[in-house]
Amino acid sequence: MTYAKYSASGNDFVIFHTFIEKDYSQEAVKYCNRNEGIGADGFVALVPSNEADFKWLFYNSDGSEASMCGNATRAVAHYAFNNGLANSSMKFITQAGLIESHVEENIVETQMTKPIVIKEPFEQEGLTWYLIDTGVPHLVTLADDLENYDHDLCSKMRYEHNANVNFAKVEKNGTLKVRTYERGVEGETLACGTGMVACFLRANDLGLIKEKAFVYPKSNEELTISKIDEKIYFKGAVKKVFTTTV
């Protein structure tokens, strides 16, 4: 089998396409292993679809399935276009719904799924939290200092609420910085697309940032999130790291 490794803002994925739709959870565990495999946060199989250009089967590095991953949509779109699976503007099916992406060289923009507020702001562990589904559930807290990010607290909150956990900070220039603890990886990743969108929506609802903002995850790569007529667009560069045959 031939696999491609992609990085989208530091979030990395093993991607391949096949005609066979089946459970690839064991392959995800094997090839996402950073010591004995290819090494990645997620594993994506692209399979045929009668309703769109293709359908994806997405797995976290521990083999668990995820409905959505914002950075992966951009990596997968680039892979699909460059492997002749779709045109530069494409539609594909995820468990969270239909995704639309557009590829222009190494820049990919995705229209995200409609966000759903799960729980209004609440207090816990001395912090104010907001729980929203941007394809997958995310807890968001706004912090004055991202060094306040607490791995043990994130782990506790993740299991209690079954959600990814985000610490976000709005800078004076209107940009947003985000740190994310991801389910399935069970630790902090260099970037999380759905997490950045969740933080953007929270900050925008509070009037702290505009309808379009630059967002920086832990990798410090620049991404753009826009809110246009209640639709959310997520844009940034992706990188094909390598292709390998196993």
pLDDT in tens, 132-176: 999 999 999 999 999 999 999 999 999 999 999 999 999 999 999
Range of the domain at 156: 116-229
Q: What are phi and psi of 59, to 5 degrees?
A: -130, 140
Total domains, the chain: 2
Q: How do residues 19-77 score in pLDDT, each as one tens digit? A: 999 999 999 999 999 999 999 999 999 999 999 999 999 999 999 998 899 999 999 99
Is 148 annotated as contributing to ligand binding? no
Q: Are 90 and 46 in contact (CB under 8 A)?
A: no
16 and 57 both lie in a single domain: yes
pLDDT of residue 67: 87
Catalytic residues: 69, 192
**Residue 210 pLDDT more than 90?**
yes
Residue with tokens 């946060």: 41
11 and 81 both lie in a single domain: yes
The three-point CA angle 215-197-92 to 5° equals: 115
122 and 191 both lie in a single domain: yes
Q: Exposed, middle or buried by CB within 10 Å (0-12, 13-18, 19+), for 189?
A: buried
Contacts of 29 (CB under 8 A, 6+ apart): 61, 62, 63
Is 193 annotated as contributing to ligand binding? yes
Tell me the CATH number at 219.
3.10.310.10
164 and 214 both lie in a single domain: yes
159 and 197 both lie in a single domain: yes
141 and 100 both lie in a single domain: no
> Virtual CA dihedral for 131, 134, 137, 143, nearest 10 degrees?
-50
Taking the alpha carbons of 83, 47, 133, 9 in that order, is the dihedral positive or negative? negative
Query: What is the rounded average pLDDT of the residues 2-24?
Result: 96
Question: Token digits for 230?
Answer: 């209640």
Q: How do residues 83-126 score in pLDDT, each as one tens digit? A: 999 999 999 999 989 999 999 999 999 999 899 999 999 999 99
Rounded to whole angstroms, what are the CA distances from 22 to 31, 46, 58? 16, 11, 11
65 and 99 both lie in a single domain: yes
**Residue 177 pLDDT more than 90?**
yes
Kindly indicate the confidence band of residue 184, based on its pLDDT and cuts at 50, 70 and 90. Answer: confident
Is 158 annotated as contributing to ligand binding? no
Helix or strand (DSSP H, E) at 197:
helix 193-205
90 and 156 both lie in a single domain: no
pLDDT of residue 182: 94
d(CA 70, CA 111): 9
pLDDT of residue 54: 98
pLDDT of residue 222: 95
Q: Are 88 and 102 in contact (CB under 8 A)?
A: yes
10 and 89 both lie in a single domain: yes
What pTM was computed for the model? 0.89
222 and 140 both lie in a single domain: yes
Is 11 annotated as contributing to ligand binding? yes
